[in-house]
Amino acid sequence: MDKNALLIMTTAPDDEIAEKIAHALVTPGLAACVNILPRMRSIYMWRGKLETGQEQLLLIKAQRSAYAVIEKEIEALHPYELPEIIAVSIDAGLPAYLDWIEGRMPAESR
């Protein structure tokens, strides 16, 4: 199986930023799909201080070849000094779904 599909994760501080990022990735075809999960609580150390905050998780399904552009787009739109951007290879999945992520579905099926 071609391992070209990625699951890219990032967080956003609110609905507006999450949707802005999602639209910026899906509309031009950089990502096949972005799921925005509802509020979650994040607890982390930042510059030696314990921080807590409410965030939303974005699950971005895209082709490996689009990763660098997606990373730059998230960085440009994100208000955080250091946004979380993590990519994980999708090693297995429904073949037809992976084909859709990779843009190999016939046009009438999209």
Helix axes 67-77, 15-26, angle to 10 degrees: 150
What pLDDT band is residue 106 in, cutting at 50, 70 and 90?
A: low
SS3 call for 14: coil
- For residue 9, list its beta bridge partners: 59, 86
Q: What is the pTM of this model?
A: 0.90
Residue 2's pLDDT is 55
Residue 36's pLDDT is 98
Tokens 């509020």 correspond to: 39
Residue 78 has pLDDT above 80, yes or no: yes
Tokens of 24: 């910026």
Q: Would you state the CATH architecture of domain 5-109?
A: 2-Layer Sandwich (3.30)
d(CA 37, CA 9): 11
Residue 103 has pLDDT above 90, yes or no: no
